Amino acid sequence: MKKYILKIECQDEKGLIYRICDVVFKYHLNIETNNEFVDEDNNRFFMRASLVGNINTAEFIGTLEAFLPKGAIIECVEAAKKDIIILATKEAHCLGDLLIKHHSGELNANILAVIANREILRELVEKFNIPFHYVNSDDIERQEHEKRVLEAMSKYKFDYAVLAKYMRILSPNFVKHYPKKIINIHHSFLPAFIGANPYKQAYERGVKIIGATAHFVNDDLDEGPIISQDVINVNHEMSWQQMQKAGRNCEKSVLAAALDLALEDRLFVYKNRVVVF
């Protein structure tokens, strides 16, 4: 007996669950957990189920397709570790957190490689015997740098690319290669403090709370669909550098939480919203 994750997204219609359960039943699958949600504003149906049984997933998907509205997005995969690559620049906290989790078997993913536009993290990454690709971003055009990064990425077959404080803005051209596949951590509670140095912005605004936001990357800087967010308290005694230091603990746990959700196939991206089951 194997465990599968089934994800369905389609136009809502009466009887959808009934029809789906009918197929599930006929394939002798047992439903372990099941979540549904209908976005009524957009008449959109979302479902995630974990199933136990033994099926040919391609055939199962084909059968389901016949019973669902046209254009339905159906995924069914065996529950298993996924593959990720990490992009980083110079800060070690998010990357290090993933490396430690990976090393101790707590990450539900294989880290295939780390790609960075600085060399500073090489030593840390190579301690863990993970390939490190240095793609220097100095003295070259953004377009050319992105081309080289894409080249490095293309060597790997991965489920998600994780931007673990990768401090480069990605062009729409870059992003379109990996739609809904790139997860970023931004060091503020978006939409507050978009752009450069959010801790300095937060300090200057005199906020009493700072935060972090993990989101899928789309064409607009820091405007992508939000997966998870968290905050911590700050006070008047803290300089922006102290906020930054405190904020890093928040950044890494928010990124780790978002990645866990992605790795368990719990996320649906629809328009600018993430359905989290």
The residues that touch its own copies, with contacts defined as CB under 8 A, are 14-18, 21-22, 24-25, 30-40, 91-93, 96-97, 99-101, 103-104, 106, 124, 127-128, 189-193, 204-209, 211, 225-231, 233, 235-237, 245, 248-249, 253, 256-257, 272-276
Determine which one of 12, 39, 83, 222 is catalytic.
222
Q: How far is the CB of 29 from its own copies (least distance, A)?
A: 9
Instruction: Tell me if residue 22 is catalytic.
Output: no
Closer CB to its own copies, 136 or 272, in the complex: 272
- 71 to each of 15, 63, 66, 74, how far by Cα in Å? 17, 14, 11, 9
Closer CB to its own copies, 122 or 148, in the complex: 122
Pairing verdict, β 182-186 and 209-216: antiparallel
Q: How far is the CB of 50 from its own copies (least distance, A)?
A: 10
- Dihedral of CA atoms 17, 22, 27, 29 in degrees, nearest 10, equals 50
3-state secondary structure 16-68: HHHHHHHHHHHCCCEEEEEEEEEECCCCEEEEEEEEEECCCHHHHHHHHHHHC
Q: How many CB atoms lie within 10 A of CB 179?
A: 11
Q: Residue 161 half-sphere exposure, CB side, CA atoms within 13 Å?
A: 27
Amino acid identity, residue 50?
Answer: S
Bridge partners (DSSP) listed for residue 78: 4
Closer CB to its own copies, 150 or 192, in the complex: 192
Q: How far is the CB of 198 from its own copies (least distance, A)?
A: 11
Closer CB to its own copies, 150 or 246, in the complex: 246
DSSP states of 79-134: ---EEEEEEE-S--HHHHHHHHHHHTT-SSEEEEEEEESSSTTHHHHHHTT--EEE
Amino acid identity, residue 78?
Answer: E
- C-alpha 10/C-alpha 45 separation (Å) is 5
Q: How far is the CB of 147 from its own copies (least distance, A)?
A: 30
Closer CB to its own copies, 90 or 177, in the complex: 90
Q: How far is the CB of 79 from its own copies (least distance, A)?
A: 14
Closer CB to its own copies, 144 or 204, in the complex: 204
Q: How many CB atoms lie within 10 A of CB 140?
A: 13
Q: How far is the CB of 47 from its own copies (least distance, A)?
A: 9
User: Which residues are part of the catalytic machinery?
Assistant: 222
